[in-house]
Structure 1
Amino acid sequence: MPARGLEGSRAPRWRLRPTAAWALAPAAAVLAAFWLLPLAHLIVLGGQARDAAGSGYWQVLGSAQYLGSLAQTCLLAAVVTMASLLVGGITGVFLARQRFFGRSTLVALLTFPLAFPGVVVGFLVILLAGRQGLFAMLGLKIAGERWVFAYSLAGLFLGYLYFSIPRVILTVMAACESLDRSLEEAAQSLGASPWRVVNDVIIPGLAPALVSCGAICFATSMGAFGTAFTLGTQLNVTPVAIYNVFTNYANFTVAAALSVVLGALTWAVLLLARRMVRQSGTVL
């Protein structure tokens, strides 16, 4: 009876204790002041009608230019994510499983781009594939013309890879530490080929980390502005479009609507990735 009385007196799990509520108060205040209130104002601003063209959302969803920019941004982010997962995943597994002289130095070099801001990454792309870059000089010597692609989507793709691949490498290296090596040994003892071991054991084991890291790479590529701005304001990606509408035309309504739509698309991808990881550890 006393034990039941103690169990009955326990507070439901969903109720916060007073001390826990006070601990959350500073974070809640910062969240409300610097995130929820500006976000609410951004959403309301996007719904306002500046002129006869209608609300900002209507102008965005009814414009082929803005929809094309959103589609191009999503496609670029998806391609960057897949390429980063492929290159970074293979490299991360190799570095996690192999021990050799200079390994720490190699890891440091591969992850060094994380220390660069987007503007510096864009400048590196220009030095590599700009009008005076290495590829331009090489093209002049080989074909008699400059090979320039820094100011196109190809250059932006290369720039996004700079800071996406290191994230995948670090994530995969950490995830490899928790893999059960006995499963691989069991598969090998049963006659499984190296490809079957990778496909049936290693990839499913790394799937949650790959999905989570892929979502982060996608979100970063969707909203990265510094690199795109450095490579040129004529690139048809949504962050640059928001900048042009905001600064060149002072159209706050459309800029707010574009920001909300871009954020909603990115949030939907992050939510989908989170659900995939929750539902199964073998989802790819």
Structure 2
Amino acid sequence: MHDITFPLRWRIALIAPALAVFIAFWLLPMAVLVQVSGNGDAIATYRALLTNGRYMDSLVATVVLSATVTLATLVLSVISGLLLARREFPGKRSLVALLTFPLAFPGVVVGFMVIMLAGRQGLIGTLTQKLTGDRLVFAYSMTGLFIGYLYFSIPRVIVTVMASATKLDPSLEEAARSLGASPWQIMRDVVLPGLAPGLVAAGAICFATAMGAFGTAFTLATDIDVLPMTIYTEFTLNANMITAAGLSVILGIVTWLVLALARSATGSAVAATA
């Protein structure tokens, strides 16, 4: 009896800190958020939110932007990650370190860098004015936000691609090459399926990060209407706690659904490549 109880106590002791953090920093805040958003009549509250054109336009813009950032990040990261994982050249370690350096930057710093690049006094505006006479400024638009999100998303996915690429079996590519497969066919039929679980997982995290990112959007916010900024506006400027809480729940549900689909797809991909 003592042998059975002792391991159980250890299991409880080990899981207790994680459980306490989960309850204190996720479960209780989410419960309060849902309670506030319901305002005594959750159905009426969420019906009003989901039928409000401005809020839904903001949600759609956020989803489209996040999906576009995710797709562009995956394409660029696969190309760069495979090159870095399979080629050795002078300065490779320094280049990898520089590519992953943006992970240390908060969103406000990323937004400021976008302003320095494409703001009213930015590098691109200065160059275009000298070349064409017109100053090109797009830092304060969805294009600027796209560049900012892309900037801090690529390092995360590149690391995943490089780790996944080192686990690929080179003999599969050699076999496909010996059978006359072209480089594109090898990429399509061998490399990408092998990378699929990691790409799906990294893409889901990239999407979720872009959905909830606030610092960059706050720094660039002029003609930007994404849901985190809408929530911030309702909470701070309008003092509308109910709407802010309801939109936060909707944002969380959409993001959670994407992560759940990614977990399902990752499991299917693993089973297919096994």
Query: Residue 127 of structure 2 aligns to which amino acid in structure 1?
Result: L
The answer to which of 114-123 and 18-27 deviates more is 18-27
Which residue in 2 is equivalent to 1:152?
A: 141
**2:97 matched to 1:101?**
no
1:55 offset after TM fit, Å?
4.8
Is residue 19 of structure 2 the alignment partner of residue 28 of structure 1? Answer: yes
1:57 counterpart = 2:50:
no
Q: Following TM superposition, where does structure 1 have runs of at least 4 consecutive aligned residues deviating by more than 3 angstroms?
A: none
Task: State the shift of 1:22 in Å.
Answer: 2.5
Q: Does the CA contact (< 8 Å) of 1:122 and 1:227 recur in 2?
A: yes
Are 2:141 and 2:222, in contact at CA under 8 Å, matched by a contact in 1? no
Q: Which amino acid aligns with 1:30?
A: V
Output the CA distance in 1 between the equivalents of 2:8 and 2:54: 52
So what's the TM-score if we normalise by structure 1? 0.90
Instruction: Give CA deviations for 1:198-253 in whole Å, capped at 9, x if unaligned.
Output: 11110000000000000000000000000000001541100000000000011000
Q: Does 2:41 align with 1:47?
A: no
Segments of structure 2 that go 5 or more residues without pairing to the other structure are none
Give the alignment's Cα RMSD to 1 decimal. 1.7
Q: Is residue 2:121 matched to residue 1:121?
A: no
1:199 alignment partner AA = R
AA at the equivalent of 2:57 = G
Q: CA deviation at 1:49?
A: 5.7
* Aligned counterparts, 1:203-214, within 5 A: 203-214=192-203
| Cα distance, 1:132 vs structure 2 | 0.3
Give the residue type in structure 2 aligned to 1:43: V
Q: Quick check: 1:56–1:256 contact (8 Å CA) kept in 2?
A: no
- Give the number of equivalent residue pairs: 267
1:79 equivalent in structure 2: 68
Letter in 2 for 1:214: G
- Number of the residue aligned with 2:121: 132
Q: Percent identity of the aligned residues? A: 57
Q: Which has the larger radius of gyration?
A: 1
Q: Does the aligned pair in 2 maintain the 1:233–1:240 contact within 8 Å?
A: no
The runs of 5 or more residues in structure 1 that have no matched partner are 1-9
Q: Does structure 1 conserve the Cα–Cα contact (< 8 Å) formed by 2:231 and 2:248?
A: yes
Q: Distance in 2 between matches of 1:152 and 1:196?
A: 39
User: Is the deviation greater in 182-191 or in 252-261?
Assistant: 182-191
Code of the residue aligned with 2:11 in structure 1: it is: A
Aligned to 1:19: 10
Taking the TM superposition and a 5 Å limit, the aligned residue runs for 1:243-282 are 243-281=232-270
The structure richer in helix per residue is 2
Q: Which residue of 1 aligns with 2:151?
A: 162
**TM-score of the pair, normalised by structure 2:** 0.93
Aligned to 1:225: 214
